[in-house]
């Protein structure tokens, strides 16, 4: 299983791929994450209007695509991700915004060579199938975050769909499934108790993290970084709980959490954290 491939602690998880250096949730960002030494990677999954599972973060398409400039889609603003078919999504460019906006200043800082920048333009939304094929081909473990299908409250079908894709790619030992929707996690545990689960928490942590995770069949805790510190990581570690906070972009904080025995650091700066850990001999 996933944890047999990553048996210790202090792993670098590339958040949405190598997000500081390439457009998030694109095959280019995933390839770079591997190249730059991530131990595993994180990606977000939505269900498109035709049922295809696609890799994309936001509930709407505008921030990380060129949809606002596509006149054919103007009448469908604000462009909910779930309301577009794969064929329509494939008409979008999800790479050029990164070159135009340079959100991390990495292009201005010269981190991207011209050939890399050229590859960013015109990138398309990957499917979960593509992401799993990549994970399998490279033996690169992946944390699949199932995004809440807010348009379908109470509908758990996306969980079975993700599981089917994992089975089709024989990727059972490469995946960790996470979600802010804990009903999805409970459903995954019901369908496939051996698939490892991570409980994502943004605002309010459970009163008792250990018993909450155990009740869900999870042993991994993915809190917002503001909800934990090194002491908390140590205390949970003593009770057998792996912790992987997000999104840790302050490298001093990341190193302190690793020192405390944090299982994973979910970061946009794979390349920096990998270098720092390597320099420390980790």
How many CA atoms, within 13 angstroms, populate the side-chain half-sphere of residue 238?
A: 5
Query: Does residue 266 belong to the site contacting ligand G3P (CB under 6 A)?
Result: yes
Binding mask 138-167 for ligand G3P (x = CB under 6 A): -------x----------------------
User: What residue 178 binds from ligand G3P, Mg ion, none (CB within 5 to 8 A, per partner kind)?
Assistant: ligand G3P
Burial of 272 (0-12, 13-18, 19+ CB in 10 A): middle
Vertex 170 angle, CA 168 and 172, to 5°: 115
Measured CA to CA, the distance from residue 248 to residue 118 in angstroms comes to 28
> Which segments of 85-226 does DSSP mark as H helices, in order?
86-89, 96-101, 114-120, 128-138, 157-168, 182-191, 209-216
Count CB atoms within 10 A of the CB of residue 158.
22
What string marks each residue from 26 to 65 as x (binds Mg ion by CB under 5 A) or -? ------------------x---------------------
Closest-CA residue to 8 (of 277, 266, 261, 246): 261
Residue 223 CB burial class (10 angstroms; 0-12, 13-18, ≥19): buried
> Which residues from 130-169 bind Mg ion, rule CB under 5 A?
145
In the list Mg ion, ligand G3P, none, the entry touching 88 (Cβ below 5 to 8 angstroms by class) is: none
Distance, CA of 161 to CA of 149 (rounded, Å): 13
Alpha-carbon distance of 197 to 162, in angstroms, equals: 13
Q: Are 178 and 146 in contact (CB under 8 A)?
A: yes
Counting contacts by CB under 6 A, is residue 269 touching ligand G3P?
A: no
Question: Could you tell me the smallest distance in angstroms from the CB atom of residue 17 to ligand G3P?
Answer: 11
Q: What is the DSSP letter of 156?
A: -
Q: Can you say whether the dihedral through the CA atoms of 19, 94, 197, 186 is positive or negative?
A: positive
If contact means CB under 5 to 8 A according to the sort of partner, which of ligand G3P, Mg ion, none does residue 169 touch? none
* SS3 of residue 22 by DSSP: coil
Minimum CB separation of residue 45 from ligand G3P in Å reads 10
Identity of the residue, 31 or 148, whose beta carbon is nearer to Mg ion in the bound complex: 148
Residues 11, 14, 15, 79: which binds ligand G3P (CB under 6 A)?
15
Among Mg ion, ligand G3P, none, partner that 246 touches (CB below 5 to 8 angstroms by kind) = ligand G3P
Beta carbon of residue 202, minimum distance to ligand G3P (angstroms, whole number): 7
Residue 57 is a catalytic residue? yes
How near is the Cβ of 3 to Mg ion at its closest, in Å? Answer: 20
200 binds ligand G3P (CB under 6 A): yes
Minimum CB distance to ligand G3P, residue 190 (Å): 22
Among 119, 189, 222, 225, the residue binding ligand G3P under the rule CB under 6 A is 222
Q: Applying CB under 6 A, which residues contact ligand G3P?
A: 15, 42, 44, 57, 145, 178, 200, 222, 246, 266
Active site (catalytic) residues: 15, 57
Question: What residues line the site for Mg ion (CB under 5 A)?
Answer: 44, 145
């Amino acid at each position: 299983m996933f944890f047999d491939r990553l048996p210790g602690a202090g792993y670098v998880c590339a958040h949405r791929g190598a997000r500081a250096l390439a457009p998030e949730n694109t095959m280019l960002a995933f390839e770079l994450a591997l190249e730059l030494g991530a131990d595993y990677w994180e990606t977000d999954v939505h269900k498109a209007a035709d049922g295809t599972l696609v890799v994309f973060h936001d509930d709407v398409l505008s921030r990380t695509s060129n949809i606002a400039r596509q006149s054919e889609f103007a009448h469908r603003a604000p462009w909910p991700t779930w309301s577009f078919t794969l064929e329509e999504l494939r008409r979008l460019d999800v790479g050029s915004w990164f070159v135009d906006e340079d959100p991390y200043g990495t292009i201005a800082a010269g981190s991207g060579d011209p050939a890399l920048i050229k590859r960013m333009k015109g990138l398309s939304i990957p499917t979960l199938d593509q992401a799993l094929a990549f994970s399998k081909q490279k033996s690169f473990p992946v944390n699949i975050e199932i995004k809440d299908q807010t348009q379908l409250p109470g509908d758990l079908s996306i969980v079975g769909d993700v599981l089917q894709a994992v089975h089709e790619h024989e990727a059972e030992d490469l995946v960790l499934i996470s979600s802010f929707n804990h009903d999805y996690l409970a459903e995954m545990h019901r369908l496939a108790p051996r698939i490892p689960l991570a409980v994502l928490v943004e605002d309010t942590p459970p009163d008792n993290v250990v018993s909450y995770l155990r009740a869900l069949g999870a042993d991994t805790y993915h809190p917002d970084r503001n909800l934990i510190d090194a002491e908390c990581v140590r205390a949970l570690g003593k009770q057998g709980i792996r912790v992987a906070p997000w999104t840790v972009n302050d490298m001093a904080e990341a190193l302190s959490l690793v020192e405390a025995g944090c299982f994973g650091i979910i970061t946009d700066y794979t390349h920096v954290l990998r270098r720092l850990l390597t320099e420390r001999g980790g």
